Amino acid sequence: MSSSDTERQAPSSAEREGSPIAKLAQLMGQAARFDGDLHGLGKGEKAALARLDPDGDIRPHQVAALARALIHAGLDPEDWHPETWRRWALIAHGMALAGHASGAFGNQLCEAGVSESRVTKLLTSRGDAFRQLLPRLLRLLASKEVAPNWHELGWLILSEGREEERAEAIRMQIAGRYFSAVARSNKQAA
């Protein structure tokens, strides 16, 4: 795959800025100033999203927090299939756990000291295995106080198993940046 193929498949900066992922990240990053504030989530809503299990039973208060966040991000979840709910629940759950930061996700994985084997497992896993590994990785990032880039990670979650060409381009981008950052880090340590 040429670099132009990769660039075409990875989300463009314009696609990132106006995307529901960007709006959701902004909403999650701002505290609500009052009940019903359209520009932020309350502590209870963020806690509900952080505690939800995207692949398990979602409780009514978690559905309410998730639906409110998604609607304010410009999405219309009323007619979604359960799989779409699970994907967006995983994104919102991850943002509530680990936050959002700009920068390359591969570099962020290196900065957090995530092992090569863990990164390889994440990038080679598919379906249920991917969805089970990701929350563990997000908790690790949160414990190291490294927030991931949800533009890359969110598009990977949305594309995985659906738009495999795009998902693979994102995986390759993450891997390339991670292994480059590891090599630079090892070179500086030597």
pLDDT of residue 125: 96
Could you tell me the pTM of the whole model?
0.83
Written as six digits, the tokens of 165 are 């060409």
Residue spans of alpha helices (H) in 18-143: 20-29, 43-51, 60-72, 82-98, 105-111, 116-124, 127-143
Range of the domain at 123: 3-189
Question: Under the phi-then-psi rule, with left for phi > 0, alpha for psi from -120 to 50, and beta for the rest, what region is 54?
Answer: alpha
Q: Which domain CATH number covers 59?
A: 1.10.520.40
Listed residue (183, 181, 154, 184) closest to 170, CA to CA: 154
Residues across the chain:
190
User: How many angstroms separate the CA atoms of 67 and 171, rounded?
Assistant: 28
Total of domains in the chain: 1
Query: How confident is the model over 123-145, as pLDDT tens digits?
Result: 999 999 999 999 999 999 999 99
Query: How confident is the model over 72-116, as pLDDT tens digits?
Result: 888 888 878 888 889 999 999 999 999 999 999 999 999 999 999
